[in-house]
């Protein structure tokens, strides 16, 4: 798990991806993997941009509630 991330970050990231792809099955097909295998990606890897999009979304959601 990347530094500064927690288990709740992984849960939120998976929820974000599921909502983005509609279903876990769509996500599995798009990523050619199993949902249970999806982890928080290390920097500069194939899935890092998706994690960065999640982080921006998370920040926007958090601060829009303030």
Report which DSSP code applies to 1. Answer: -
In this structure, is residue 52 part of a structural domain? Answer: yes
Where does the pLDDT of residue 33 fall: very low under 50, low under 70, confident under 90, or very high at 90 and above?
confident
Distance between CA 40 and CA 18 in Å, rounded? 14
In this structure, is residue 48 part of a structural domain? Answer: yes
Contact assessment for residue 42 and residue 48, using Cβ atoms and an 8 Å cutoff: yes
Distance between CA 18 and CA 41 in Å, rounded? 16
Where does the pLDDT of residue 31 fall: very low under 50, low under 70, confident under 90, or very high at 90 and above?
confident
In this structure, is residue 45 part of a structural domain? Answer: yes
pLDDT of 58 strictly over 70:
yes
Q: Show contacts of 17-20: CB within 8 Å, 24+ apart.
A: 17/50, 17/54
Range of the domain at 55: 7-64
In this structure, is residue 1 part of a structural domain? Answer: no
In this structure, is residue 30 part of a structural domain? Answer: yes
User: Structurally, how many domains does the chain consist of?
Assistant: 1
In this structure, is residue 2 part of a structural domain? Answer: no
pLDDT of residue 62: 84
In this structure, is residue 33 part of a structural domain? Answer: yes
């Amino acid at each position: 798990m990347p530094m500064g991330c927690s288990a709740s970050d992984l849960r939120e990231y998976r929820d974000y991806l599921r909502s983005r792809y509609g279903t876990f099955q769509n996500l599995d097909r798009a990523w050619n993997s199993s949902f249970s295998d999806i982890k928080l990606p290390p920097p500069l890897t194939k899935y890092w941009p998706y994690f960065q999009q999640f982080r921006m979304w998370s920040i926007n959601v958090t601060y829009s509630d303030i």
